[in-house]
Structure 1
Amino acid sequence: MSLRRSQRLKDLKTPKAAIDAKARSETARVSEQRVQGRRRGGLKLKDMFSDMPTDIIHESRLAILTTPADVYLGYFVSSATNLLSLSRISKTFHAFLFKKSSADYWKRALKTIERAPPCPQWLIEPAFIALILFPVCMACGKKRPAPVYWAFLMRICDSCKPRLVIDQYELLDSDRICAIPRTILNLGRVTRYGRAYCLRDEAREAIHAWKTFSKDEDTEALDRYIEEKSERIKELSDFQSLCLVWLENEEALRARERDRLQKERYQFIISKLQALGFEPELQRLQQNRMTVLSNHTLVRVPELLTDRSWRTIQGELVKLMQSLRTSRLAYEAELEKKSKATARKRTLRKRT
């Protein structure tokens, strides 16, 4: 007798309640396995489509295959960061987005960076977007804080800075070349009024060329070199000034936005604490100009609060206000005690 037939005969002899219990336990076991699978690695694609009707899967596949590429790229073009990330996903996307026919996507993406300076003629849009948005050191390739030296068209981190750049005055003192025209030295700055640096290799090349022409006493070649070099340096300097002014304006806008969000958050917290009965404590804070609440780490966050997010920080702020209430009541009790003592002294003076 086969194993399957013997199992059927065994099921026929088993009571119906036992069969139902076995089915329920099997269902529970499968459900638990699915839950555990989701916990371990998330919901997998095959789990999503396992219970989906075949006609819906077919229609979805057909819609994906027939949708133009511009519809998908429209989402990524709406953000310069998204488009640059898409170009780095695979060689296929990189090859497609770096074709000449895809230049319009990058131009549209660059326009989404508010008030950004125009892309210079010696840079392509993807490189300019990466320079603005991606905090990656272009020397070591590590993702770390790396300010932009606009005149060099580079981001340089603090670790690579000593190896790549040199202070302009240190350069001139070390080489004793005070007579060299400053117009042939490309000076990079991180802020508009910050210290100026030169790329070591670039400065070394310019100094060597100037010394060579000076030794040969070829004034015509020297003048031509200085003129061409100065013209290129001026373009980079003008571009750097434009970008630094833009950065200052953007930082000022961000600072104003942070202040606005902090003020709105603070007012929201004040209203919630007033509703909880802490009005006397809040008035005392305002009268004495105490900043224990306004400078609290949970209050200074530049992010708006909702009723749900308020509940996550309510406990700590209520504990703070309760401690302020305790100190207020103790202070008022001390004042009342001193007032009564003063009143008793006055009464005794009048009687004597």
Structure 2
Amino acid sequence: MRMKPKRLKSAPEDENTPPGPAVAVWGKKKSAFRCKRGVFSKILRELPEEIEYEIFSHLDSGSFLNLAMSCKFLWKKYTAPEKSRFWVRCRQNAGLPDCPPHLTERAFAHLVYMKCCHSWYQQCGKPRVSRIIWVASARYCDACVNQCMVGIRAFFEDSANEEMRDFESLLPTVKVNDRLSFSLPYLERLVGKWKDAKTENLSWEAFEAGQREHLQALSAHVETCKRWKKAADVARAQERRRLHDQRYSFIRSTLLATGYEEALLAFADSKLRQLKQVHGTAYLDNKGWAKIEPQVIKFMDNMQVAQVFAERIQKFARYFGQVKEEHLHDKDIAWWPGTVDLLLMQGTSYRTSLTTGSMEESETDLPALKAEIRRDVSRWLLERKAELEDIIRDLKPDVYPEDVQAVELAVCVLRCYGCGYNVRFPELLVHRCFRGQDCSGWSWDWAIQKELQLRDDVFEQTVIETLGYCPWSAGEDAARHLRRSKNEQPVNTMFTPCGPLTQSKAMETVQSCGKDPLRATWKEMDECNPIFSQPTSPLGTGVTVMSWRYAVTTLFLFPDGLESRGDWKVDDPDLPPAARVAVTKEYRLEEQGVRTQPIFCCARCPDPFLARMTYAEAVDHVSKSHAKEGGSIEGGDIYCNPHHWAMWASPMTVE
């Protein structure tokens, strides 16, 4: 192999000095390192063993193992059998239990401190494997654990392993992934020991007795190791907590000395504790602070801006609540939860006053601001209705008459591609899939954190954190949340029409109520509130009833819903008065199971989207928070999220 020549550096040119010899500079650092390592090795060679033992006996097993692995010379030196007392002393310093008989001191230290996979089938060596399986004296990653730790029941029930069933009672077991398992390498070693014992004419009974004693000793050692590991983890957690508290206290006191106010630090306390610079690996001093100061100062400046935004957003939410209360029964506008954040994200004119202005109310400015809020909510709803109308007309042409708005028809319900639920307007505007969530399974706290990560604007992040729910994720954001690995859908097909069978059943149901299915709107059906009933006894003393909304919801979820329930009647004249009262607009939520679910909202609060209140909590909230404002349960101040109500409601039986 041809060696690459060294790069030479000539001496500095000077006309009065003759040129000197070239100086070799390539590989200077490597030679210096080798020189230092050679000096260190020479010192260790000449150092008396007792002094060497006294020096290294203050280390624990992990530190001594790292030292031995630093170079080949130290590895060869300290893995020799005559150096075993070094490992014993270091193990005792760490408080570890005695080394098991089947492991060397070095192997035991490697098991405890080196977090790598010990699979000897694939030679995996994957790092950051935290769990130690003590009965197997190994660490296994997720990819190797099922190969090395085998389910004991499935293994010995296999006819191919019939000749090994005698060893089943001699194996140490442990639960791995909710399955009682044993170490396959341990079984292989056990079979090898039995073969060696047979060559020495040892009986099975004697071999079994010896292995049972070994199993008892191994079990006792495993319990000791588990107790040590638990105590070590507790001590490590306490040390980490002390380190975190010291760094947090140092940063906080330094920020106070810098000039930041106590109120600002209290506002940013939770985020400051989670800051990356607080979770360090060493105690913080002035030298360490100089390294992280720019990042912390930038964070505090953002928090200072966010604090101002939060106060203004809360004030705006109060104004929004006043407008909502004044126009709560306005027929031209729907005050659905989740509109205040939509307006703030739309770039309306008062967003500028929230970010740059003083946002101070006055007798002359406040009415104009309220009128603007009312106008913007109405405009936003009309724009969304027009967009949805175009989508429906494109998806299902020549179905609805041209002189009606399809989005308002009772038979116009769309199925969400993201979650599979059926949604109508205007519930569609606050549908969780539009807010970037998958309705089939989600965590609200996780959703907020995810939405915060998607947004870089400090104002938008403050809106989410202040109001406590995610804004409407329109356009690419909604499409990104709804993408699937095999099949991507554009935004305009997020909602698809219901199938023809469901559509025909819906039209038949509306006709049975005496309404024109291509003219009757959801609002009209809710006002007349037809009731579906079915006698539950031949004498007519009992009847099962369900309201219009539940009947149609059941019909849309299950096309044969009404037929499968038997002979249902609409507005039966013989319906008991108690049944009709039970499903009126005020008391319609009496159905079994609904009141105990956290699905109720307060109409007077500014957009409590998914407030997570039960019926009792909602009643208590209205009586305590809105009594002076004239709040009452019968006045429509408590309402149920319609999308959730359909999931929990059921027909009720009235005697």
TM-score (norm 1): 0.63
Instruction: State the AA in 1 paired with 2:96.
Output: A
Instruction: State the AA in 2 paired with 1:235.
Output: A
Structure 2 residue 277 is the aligned partner of structure 1 residue 267: no
Instruction: State the AA in 2 paired with 1:171.
Output: F
Given candidates 123, 129, 132, the residue that maps to 1:148 is 132
Aligned to 1:112: 93
Give me the whole-angstrom Cα distance separating, in 2, the residues matched to 1:87 and 1:302.
24
Aligned to 2:103: 123
Aligned to 1:277: 259
Instruction: State the AA in 2 paired with 1:145.
Output: R
Shift of 1:77: 3.7
Shift of 1:265: 0.8
Do 1:281 and 1:328's aligned partners in 2 also have CA atoms closer than 8 Å? no
Do 1:265 and 1:299's aligned partners in 2 also have CA atoms closer than 8 Å? yes
Shift of 1:182: 6.2
Higher relative contact order (CA 8 A, sep 6+): 1
Aligned to 1:184: 170
Distance 1:224 1:319, change over 3 A: same
Shift of 1:244: 1.4
- Deviations, residues 20-64 of structure 1 (Å, cap 9, x unaligned): 9856x989x99xx79xx48x6427449999xxxxxxxxxx99988
- Deviations, residues 263-309 of structure 1 (Å, cap 9, x unaligned): 111111111111222114435417xxx62222122223353211122
Do 1:151 and 1:186's aligned partners in 2 also have CA atoms closer than 8 Å? yes
Q: Identity of aligned pairs, percent?
A: 19
Distance 1:170 1:223, change over 3 A: same
Structure 2 residue 221 is the aligned partner of structure 1 residue 230: no
Give me the whole-angstrom Cα distance separating, in 1, the residues matched to 2:280 and 2:113.
23
Distance 1:206 1:171, change over 3 A: farther
Partner SS state of residue 247, structure 2: helix
Shift of 1:150: 1.8
Structure 2 residue 29 is the aligned partner of structure 1 residue 42: yes
Give me the whole-angstrom Cα distance separating, in 2, the residues matched to 1:301 and 1:86.
24
Distance 1:155 1:271, change over 3 A: same
Do 1:186 and 1:203's aligned partners in 2 also have CA atoms closer than 8 Å? no
Aligned to 2:200: none
Shift of 1:196: 4.0
- Deviations, residues 56-99 of structure 1 (Å, cap 9, x unaligned): xxxx9998886424334544443334544565644796367523
Shift of 1:108: 1.6
Distance 1:275 1:197, change over 3 A: same
Distance 1:293 1:62, change over 3 A: closer
- Deviations, residues 311-341 of structure 1 (Å, cap 9, x unaligned): 2221122122112222334556786755654
Distance 1:279 1:302, change over 3 A: farther
Give me the whole-angstrom Cα distance separating, in 2, the residues matched to 1:229 and 1:204.
14
Instruction: State the AA in 2 paired with 1:144.
Output: P
Do 2:100 and 2:218's aligned partners in 1 also have CA atoms closer than 8 Å? no
Structure 2 residue 150 is the aligned partner of structure 1 residue 166: yes
Instruction: State the AA in 2 paired with 1:150.
Output: W
Gaps of 5+ in 1: 1-18, 50-59, 211-220, 346-352
Distance 1:251 1:48, change over 3 A: closer
Structure 2 residue 116 is the aligned partner of structure 1 residue 132: no
Distance 1:195 1:77, change over 3 A: farther
Distance 1:232 1:277, change over 3 A: same
Instruction: State the AA in 2 paired with 1:264.
Output: Q
Q: Which runs of 4+ in 1 moved over 6 A?
A: 46-49, 60-65, 179-182, 204-207, 342-345
Equivalent runs, 1:313-324 vs 2, <5 Å: 313-324=292-303
Give me the whole-angstrom Cα distance separating, in 1, the residues matched to 2:101 and 2:260.
61
Equivalent runs, 1:49-88 vs 2, <5 Å: 67-79=47-59, 80-81=61-62, 83-84=64-65
Give me the whole-angstrom Cα distance separating, in 1, the residues matched to 2:215 and 2:35.
58
Shift of 1:105: 2.2
Hey, which of these two has a bigger chunk of helix by percent?
A: 1
- Deviations, residues 155-177 of structure 1 (Å, cap 9, x unaligned): 33444333322023433554699
Distance 1:245 1:171, change over 3 A: farther
Partner SS state of residue 278, structure 1: coil
Instruction: State the AA in 2 paired with 1:160.
Output: C
Give me the whole-angstrom Cα distance separating, in 2, the residues matched to 1:98 and 1:311.
46
Do 1:166 and 1:199's aligned partners in 2 also have CA atoms closer than 8 Å? yes
Distance 1:340 1:271, change over 3 A: farther
Give me the whole-angstrom Cα distance separating, in 2, the residues matched to 1:154 and 1:97.
20
Distance 1:163 1:129, change over 3 A: same
Partner SS state of residue 87, structure 2: helix
Equivalent runs, 1:162-311 vs 2, <5 Å: 162-174=146-158, 183-188=169-174, 196-200=180-184, 202-203=186-187, 226-285=208-267, 291-311=270-290
Distance 1:188 1:327, change over 3 A: closer
Do 1:183 and 1:233's aligned partners in 2 also have CA atoms closer than 8 Å? no
Farther-moved stretch of structure 1 (224-233 vs 64-73):
64-73
Give me the whole-angstrom Cα distance separating, in 1, the residues matched to 2:30 and 2:190.
60
TM-score (norm 2): 0.37
Instruction: State the AA in 1 paired with 2:155.
Output: L
Give me the whole-angstrom Cα distance separating, in 2, the residues matched to 1:63 and 1:305.
35
- Deviations, residues 230-258 of structure 1 (Å, cap 9, x unaligned): 22222212111111121111111111111
Aligned to 1:214: none
- Deviations, residues 123-172 of structure 1 (Å, cap 9, x unaligned): 33223222222334441263623443222223334443333220234335
Partner SS state of residue 173, structure 2: coil
* RMSD, matched Cα: 4.7
Instruction: State the AA in 2 paired with 1:318.
Output: I
Distance 1:244 1:41, change over 3 A: farther
Do 1:262 and 1:303's aligned partners in 2 also have CA atoms closer than 8 Å? no
Distance 1:319 1:83, change over 3 A: closer
Gaps of 5+ in 2: 1-12, 195-202, 316-357, 368-655
Do 2:171 and 2:215's aligned partners in 1 also have CA atoms closer than 8 Å? yes
